[in-house]
C-alpha cells in the first residue's frame, strides 16, 4: 500500500523514502518519480534519516532512492515506528512528500525532544537552511529576525553588552541558547556558517532544558558528517566593505566514518554606522564514527575569533514639552554618529568541543550521551555615552545636552562618555564551562497502552573571571552633532595604579578589580507519553534541579571590604501535554508547563552582582497554550496556530541608572496568538510567513503606577514574510526572485511606558541565477527603503539598524 506521511511516521520495514527530497530542492512534481524505485538505492541504510538527526543535509542526488531499516528508536520516529496508531509493522511502500520550506518537517535537534516540529506539543518556530541560504544569513541574530516575538537587547548596566542577548515574548533568553541541545554559555556574537537550521521553542521548557527558558529556548542544529561526498564554497562582497568566504566539505572515509569541515572568514563595516566593524573567522570540523550504525559517535570542534567595535547606539531622550521619550535620532541627529573612543574594542575567542553518542541498545530502547566543554576569552572596552537632561558641564550655563540641543544651542550640545556608573571599565573575561546530558528513550506497551518514556540527568558547571582596568582620567565627552573618537592623553592602567578610577559596583560592593562567578546545576528529568487511544495521547513530565552559585568582588579600593554572595536553589518544573491526532497530518494540543529562573542564573552574561540574592525567590513562569499543526497538500505546506497565556512572578529588575540587578514581587502576563505558514504553494513558489499578536501587561508591581502597563520590549503586533519564485528552472534562462518584509510595531522601553521606540519595517529582496548544476550567482538587498529602524533595544538607548545595503554572492556546490 502507499500512504502520505511526514518523516516521523516512516516505518521500520523496507521502504523507499524521499526524506532527502525535503532538502534536495527537487521540484514537487518529480517527487513521485524519485520514490518509485526507478534507480537502485546507492545510499547506505538510514543515510538520509541520520543526516537529518545530526542536522546535516542529506545526499544531494535526490534522484536516488534511499532505503532505511530499523528506525523505530530513531529520534525522528514515534513510538514503535511502524505501529502508527496501532497498525502493526508490515511490508509497505511509503511515499513521503515534503518541502524544504515546510518547517513542520524539521527536527527539534536534541534527544530529549525526539520528534519533529509537527509532533511537538508546543509553539515552535524554525529558520530552515533553505531560508538562510536565500537570505544569505550570516549570524544567529540575522536568522532570528525571521521569528516573531524575538528582540535583540543591547546589554545591561556596568559591564556592557554580552554578545548575543535575546528576549523571547518579552522575557530574557540570554542564557537560553543551545547547540544540539547543549547550552552555549558564551558571551559572543554567533556566526551562522556551520548552521543547518535554528529552532525556537516558545514558552517555558525547564522540564527539558533546565532553569531559565521563561520566554523560550533557541536551539541551533549544526551541520554534521553525512553519507556521500560533497564540496561547497561561496564568496560574498558588497556594501560596507563586506567580504566573506565560506567552505563546507564532507568526505565519507569508510562505510561507517565520515568527516566534515565548515570554515568562514568575514570582514565588514556596518552600513549606517560610523567606525563600527567586525573582523572574524571560524572553523568547525567534525567526525562521525558508526555512520548509519546502531552505535554512533560524533565529535565536533568549533573555534571563532571576532574582533569588533561595540556599538552602544544612541540614547532615548524626552524632548521638552512632550511626555514620551524617543531615540534622539528621531529628532534630527545623524544615524551614522558613533560616540565611542579609539579605545573601544570587543575581542572574543571562543572554543567548544562536544561529543554526541547514540546507541540503539534494543529495538525498544535508545540511549544518548552528549558532552560539551567550552572556553571563552574576551577583552572588552566600551564607552557608554549619554545625552543628559541636566547640567553636566559648568562651561555650558544653559544646561545639559538635552536643553542645549532643543533650546536652540545645538552646536554647543555635548554628551558624556562615562555612563551613569562612571563608565563601564575595560575588562578581561575568561570563562570555561562543561555539561553532560545522559538520556534514554524507551518505547513499550502496558496492556493496550503505548508509552514513550524519556529520562536522564544533566550536569553542568560554569566559571567566570573578570579583571577590571581603570583609565588614568575621566573620559571627556564629545560634541553631540559632530562627535570625535580621539581622546588625547587617555590611557588604560592597571587596577593598582588607579583603583579609585574603577566604576562603583552597586549594593555597597564598591570599586573592585576582580569579579568572579560560578554556578553548578545538577538536574534529573523524566516524562511519559501515553497513547490512551489511537488518536489521543497525554504526556506528563518534570525536572528536578539543584542549583549552586557564587559571586565575589575583590581587590580595588581597600576601604571597602571584599564581597562574597552565594545562592542555593532547589527547583521542580513540571509539564503536562494533551495531544489529539486524528490522522498523520493534524495535531491539536494543549500545553501546561512551568519554568524557574534563579536570580544568579546569568553567570557569564551578567555584569553586576545579584545583591544578596539568597534572600530572593527565583522567577517563576507558567504557560497555558492550545494550538494546532496541519500538513497540507501532500506535505508541501505546513500551518500552525497557537493561543497562549504566559505568566511570570518575582520578575528581576535591572536599573538603567545604576546597573543594579535585583528581584521584586512584580507579576507580568503576556498572552496572544501566533500563526505561521510555510512550504511550497507550487513546485516553484515557496513561502514562509509568521504573525504574532501579544497582549502583555504588568499585573502586579511594587510601583503601583506600573500596574496595567505594557511589558517593555513586547510589540502588540509583529510579523515576517518571505517568498521566492523559480522562473524557468533547469533551463539556461533560469532565475529565482524573492523578497520579504520584517515588521514589528513600536514597543515601550521601560516599565512605566514613558519611553518608546518606533516600528520596524524592513524590506529585503533576492535575485539569483544557476549556471548548470554546480554554480550559482545571487544578489541580496537589505532594508531597501533605507528606513531608520532600530535593531537592539534597552531601557535608555537603542542601536540604529543597518541602512540600505547590497551583497553579491558567488557559490559552487559539487
The CA distances from residue 410 to 7, 329, 392, 480, 487, in Å, are: 63, 14, 16, 8, 22
Q: What is the mean pLDDT of residues 364-369?
A: 96
Q: Which of 208-217, 477-486, 653-662 has the lowest mean pLDDT?
A: 653-662
Residue reference for cell 491526532: 581
Of the listed ranges 211-225, 260-274, 658-672, 695-709, the one predicted with least confidence: 658-672
**Residue 198 binned pLDDT confidence (cut-offs 50, 70, 90):** very high
Least confident piece of the model among 55-64, 392-401, 466-475, 635-644: 55-64
At residue 202, φ and ψ (nearest 5 deg) are -80, 145
Contacts of 408 (CB under 8 A, 6+ apart): none
What are 95's strand-pairing partners? 4
Confidence of residue 694 (pLDDT cuts 50, 70, 90): very high
User: Which residue blocks in 661-804 are alpha helix, DSSP H?
Assistant: none
**Average pLDDT of the segment spanning 423-442:** 91
Of these ranges, 316-320, 502-506, 735-739, the one predicted with the greatest mean pLDDT is 735-739
Three-state SS at 499? helix
Residue 460 pLDDT greater than 50, yes or no: yes
Residue 654 pLDDT greater than 80, yes or no: no
Over residues 667-677, mean pLDDT: 94
Cα-based distances in Å from 452 to 77, 538, 627:
11, 10, 22
* pLDDT bucket at 539, cuts 50 / 70 / 90: very high
Question: pLDDT tens, 288-328?
Answer: 999 999 999 999 999 999 999 988 889 899 999 999 999 99
Confidence at residue 661, expressed as pLDDT on a 0 to 100 scale:
52
Q: Are 232 and 240 in contact (CB under 8 A)?
A: no
In terms of pLDDT, which residue wins out, 502 or 674? Answer: 674
Collapsing DSSP to helix, strand or coil, 94 comes out as: coil
pLDDT in tens, 136-149: 999 999 999 999 88
pLDDT recorded at residue 494: 92
Q: Is the pLDDT of residue 70 over 50?
A: no
The 3-class secondary structure across 525-540, one letter per residue, is EEEEEEECCCCEEEEE
Q: What is the mean pLDDT of residues 787-805?
A: 91
CA dist 743 → 83, 143, 675, 718 (Å): 44, 15, 14, 5
For the chain, give the percent of residues with pLDDT over 70: 81
Determine the Cα–Cα distance for residues 722 and 686; give it in Å rounded to an integer.
8
Q: How far apart are CA 156 and CA 174, in angstroms?
A: 12
Per-residue pLDDT of 339-362, as tens digits, reads 999 999 999 999 999 999 999 999
Q: What is the pLDDT of residue 84?
A: 37
DSSP letters spanning 375-436: EEEEEEE--B-B--SS---TT-TT-SHHHHHHTT-GGG-EEBSB-TTS-PPPEEEEEEEEEE
**What's 650's DSSP letter?**
S
Q: How far is CA 296 from CA 53, 289, 467, 498, in A?
A: 12, 5, 42, 56
Structural domain boundaries in the chain: 117-310+371-384+441-476+490-813
pLDDT surpasses 60 at 4: no
What are 618-629's pLDDT values in tens digits?
Answer: 788 899 999 999
pLDDT tier, 602 (very low <50, low <70, confident <90, very high otherwise) = low
> From CA 567, how far away is CA 574, in angstroms rounded?
22
List helix spans (H) across 67-153: 129-135, 140-144
Mean pLDDT in residue range 76-85: 37
DSSP state of 209: H
Q: What is the DSSP string of 139-206?
A: BHHHHHTTSTTEEEE--BGGGB--SS-EEETTEE-TT-EEETTEE----SPPB-TTEEEEEEEES--H
Distance CA 81, CA 238 (A): 49
pLDDT band at 59 (very low <50, low <70, confident <90, very high): very low
Q: Residues 741-770: pLDDT tens digits?
A: 999 999 999 889 999 999 999 999 999 999
**CA atoms lying within 13 Å on the CB side of residue 192:** 22
Helix (H) or strand (E) holding 230: strand 230-238
pLDDT at 60: 38
- Give the model's pLDDT for residue 49: 36
Average pLDDT over residues 383-399: 63
Average pLDDT of 531-551?
94
Most confidently predicted of 144-158, 254-268, 554-568 = 254-268
Q: What is the pLDDT of residue 502?
A: 87
How confident is the model over 203-232, as a mean pLDDT?
90
Q: What is the pLDDT of residue 476?
A: 82
For residues 366-376, give the mean pLDDT: 96
Say which residues have a Cβ less than 8 Å from residue 480's Cβ, sequence separation at least 6.
Answer: 333, 387, 401, 404, 405, 410, 413, 414, 415
What pLDDT, on the 0 to 100 scale, is given for residue 161? 53
Task: Summarize pLDDT for 247-278 with one digit per residue, the tens.
Answer: 999 999 999 999 999 999 999 999 999 999 99
CA-to-CA distance for 154 and 310, rounded, in angstroms?
10
- What CA–CA distance (Å, rounded) separates 355 from 462? 18
* Strands 216-222, 177-179: pairing kind: parallel
Q: What is the dihedral of CA 624, 78, 19, 290, to 10 degrees?
A: 120
According to the model, what pLDDT value does residue 77 have? 36
Residue 402 to residue 317: CA distance in whole angstroms: 7
d(CA 448, CA 722): 46
Tell me: pLDDT of 803 over 60.
yes
- pLDDT value of position 73: 33
Q: For 117-310+371-384+441-476+490-813, CATH number?
A: 2.40.170.20
- The pLDDT score that the predictor gives to residue 17 is 34
Confidence band of 155 (pLDDT split at 50, 70, 90): low
Mean pLDDT score across all residues of the chain: 83
- The model's pTM is 0.86
| HSE, side-chain direction, 13 A CA sphere, residue 727 | 8
- Cα 35 from Cα 37, distance rounded (Å): 6
Burial state string for 773-783 with b = 16 or more CB within 10 A and e = fewer than 16: eeebebebbbb
Tell me, what's the pLDDT at 29? 35
Amino acid at each position: 500500500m502507499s500512504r502520505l506521511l511526514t518523516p516521523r511516521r516512516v516505518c521500520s520495514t523496507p521502504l523507499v523514502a524521499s526524506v532527502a527530497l525535503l532538502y534536495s530542492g527537487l521540484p514537487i512534481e518529480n517527487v513521485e518519480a524519485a520514490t518509485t524505485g526507478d534507480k537502485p538505492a546507492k545510499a547506505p541504510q538510514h543515510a538520509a534519516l541520520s543526516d537529518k538527526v545530526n542536522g546535516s543535509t542529506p545526499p544531494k542526488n535526490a534522484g536516488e532512492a534511499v532505503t532505511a531499516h530499523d528506525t523505530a528508536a530513531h529520534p525522528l520516529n514515534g513510538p514503535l515506528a511502524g505501529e502508527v496508531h496501532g497498525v502493526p509493522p508490515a511490508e509497505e511502500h511509503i511515499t513521503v512528500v515534503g518541502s524544504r520550506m515546510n518547517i513542520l518537517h524539521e527536527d527539534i535537534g536534541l534527544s530529549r525532544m525526539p520528534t519533529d516540529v509537527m509532533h511537538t506539543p508546543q509553539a515552535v518556530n524554525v529558520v530552515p537552511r533553505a531560508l538562510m541560504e536565500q537570505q544569505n544569513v550570516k549570524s544567529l541574530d540575522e536568522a532570528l529576525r525571521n521569528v516573531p516575538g524575538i528582540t535583540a537587547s543591547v546589554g545591561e548596566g556596568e559591564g556592557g553588552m554580552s554578545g548575543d542577548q535575546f528576549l523571547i515574548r518579552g522575557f530574557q533568553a540570554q542564557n537560553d541558547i543551545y547547540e544540539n541541545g547543549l547550552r552555549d554559555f558564551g558571551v559572543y556574537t554567533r556566526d551562522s556558517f556551520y548552521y543547518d537550521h535554528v529552532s525556537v521553542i516558545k514558552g517555558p521548557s525547564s522540564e527539558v532544558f533546565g532553569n531559565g527558558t521563561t520566554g523560550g529556548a533557541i536551539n541551533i542544529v549544526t551541520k554534521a558528517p553525512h553519507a556521500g561526498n560533497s564540496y561547497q564554497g561561496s564568496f560574498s562582497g558588497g556594501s560596507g566593505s563586506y567580504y566573506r568566504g565560506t567552505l563546507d566539505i564532507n568526505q565519507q572515509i569508510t562505510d561507517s566514518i565520515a568527516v566534515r569541515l565548515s570554515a568562514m572568514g568575514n570582514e565588514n563595516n556596518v552600513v549606517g554606522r560610523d567606525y563600527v566593524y567586525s573582523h572574524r573567522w571560524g572553523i568547525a570540523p567534525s567526525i562521525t564514527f558508526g555512520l548509519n550504525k546502531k552505535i554512533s559517535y560524533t565529535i565536533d570542534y568549533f573555534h571563532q575569533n571576532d574582533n569588533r567595535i561595540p556599538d552602544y547606539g544612541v540614547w532615548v531622550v524626552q524632548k521638552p514639552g512632550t511626555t514620551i521619550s524617543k531615540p534622539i535620532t528621531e529628532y534630527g541627529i545623524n544615524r551614522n554618529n558613533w560616540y565611542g573612543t579609539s579605545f573601544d574594542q570587543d575581542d572574543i575567542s571562543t572554543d567548544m568541543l562536544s561529543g554526541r553518542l547514540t546507541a540503539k541498545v534494543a529495538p525498544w530502547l535508545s540511549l544518548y550521551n552528549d558532552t560539551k566543554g567550552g572556553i571563552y576569552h574576551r577583552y572588552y572596552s566600551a564607552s557608554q555615552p549619554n545625552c543628559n537632561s541636566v547640567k553636566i558641564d559648568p562651561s555650558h550655563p544653559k544646561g545639559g545636552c538635552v536643553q542645549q540641543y532643543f533650546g536652540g544651542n545645538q552646536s554647543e550640545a555635548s554628551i558624556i562618555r562615562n555612563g551613569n556608573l562612571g563608565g563601564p571599565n575595560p575588562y578581561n573575561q575568561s570563562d570555561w564551562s562543561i555539561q553532560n546530558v545522559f538520556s534514554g528513550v524507551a518505547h513499550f506497551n502496558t496492556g493496550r497502552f503505548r508509552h514513550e518514556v524519556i529520562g536522564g540527568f544533566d550536569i553542568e558547571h560554569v566559571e567566570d573571571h573578570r579583571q577590571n582596568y581603570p583609565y588614568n582620567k575621566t573620559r571627556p565627552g564629545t560634541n553631540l552633532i559632530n562627535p570625535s573618537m580621539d581622546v588625547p592623553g587617555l590611557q588604560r592602567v592597571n587596577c593598582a595604579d588607579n583603583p579609585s578610577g574603577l566604576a562603583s559596583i552597586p549594593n555597597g560592593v564598591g570599586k573592585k578589580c576582580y569579579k568572579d562567578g560560578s554556578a553548578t546545576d545538577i538536574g534529573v528529568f523524566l516524562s511519559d507519553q501515553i497513547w490512551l487511544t489511537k488518536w489521543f495521547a497525554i504526556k506528563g513530565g518534570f525536572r528536578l534541579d539543584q542549583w549552586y552559585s557564587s559571586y565575589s568582588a575583590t581587590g580595588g579600593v581597600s576601604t571597602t571590604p571584599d564581597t562574597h554572595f552565594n545562592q542555593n536553589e532547589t527547583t521542580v518544573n513540571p509539564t503536562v501535554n494533551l495531544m489529539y491526532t486524528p490522522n498523520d497530518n493534524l495535531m491539536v494540543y494543549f500545553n501546561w508547563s512551568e519554568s524557574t529562573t534563579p536570580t544568579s542564573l546569568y553567570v557569564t552574561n551578567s555584569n553586576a552582582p545579584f545583591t544578596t540574592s539568597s534572600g530572593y525567590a527565583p522567577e517563576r513562569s507558567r504557560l497555558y497554550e492550545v494550538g494546532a499543526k496541519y500538513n497540507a497538500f501532500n506535505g508541501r505546506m505546513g500551518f500552525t496556530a497557537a493561543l497562549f497565556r504566559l505568566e511570570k512572578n518575582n520578575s528581576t529588575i535591572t536599573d538603567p541608572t545604576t546597573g543594579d540587578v535585583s528581584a521584586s514581587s512584580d507579576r507580568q502576563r503576556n498572552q496572544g496568538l501566533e500563526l505561521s505558514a510555510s512550504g511550497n504553494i507550487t513546485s516553484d513558489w515557496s513561502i514562509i510567513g509568521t504573525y504574532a499578536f501579544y497582549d502583555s501587561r504588568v499585573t502586579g508591581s511594587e510601583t503601583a503606577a506600573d500596574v496595567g502597563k505594557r511589558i517593555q520590549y513586547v510589540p502588540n503586533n509583529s510579523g515576517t514574510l518571505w517568498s521566492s519564485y523559480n522562473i524557468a528552472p533547469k533551463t539556461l534562462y533560469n532565475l529565482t526572485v524573492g523578497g520579504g518584509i520584517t515588521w514589528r510595531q513600536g514597543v515601550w522601553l521601560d516599565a512605566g511606558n514613558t519611553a518608546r521606540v518606533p516600528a520596524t519595517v524592513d524590506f529585503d529582496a533576492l535575485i539569483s541565477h544557476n549556471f548548470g548544476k554546480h554554480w550559482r550567482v545571487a544578489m541580496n538587498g537589505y532594508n531597501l527603503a533605507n528606513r531608520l529602524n532600530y535593531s537592539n533595544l534597552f531601557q535608555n538607548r537603542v542601536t540604529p539598524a543597518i541602512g540600505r545595503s547590497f551583497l553579491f554572492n558567488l557559490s559552487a556546490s559539487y
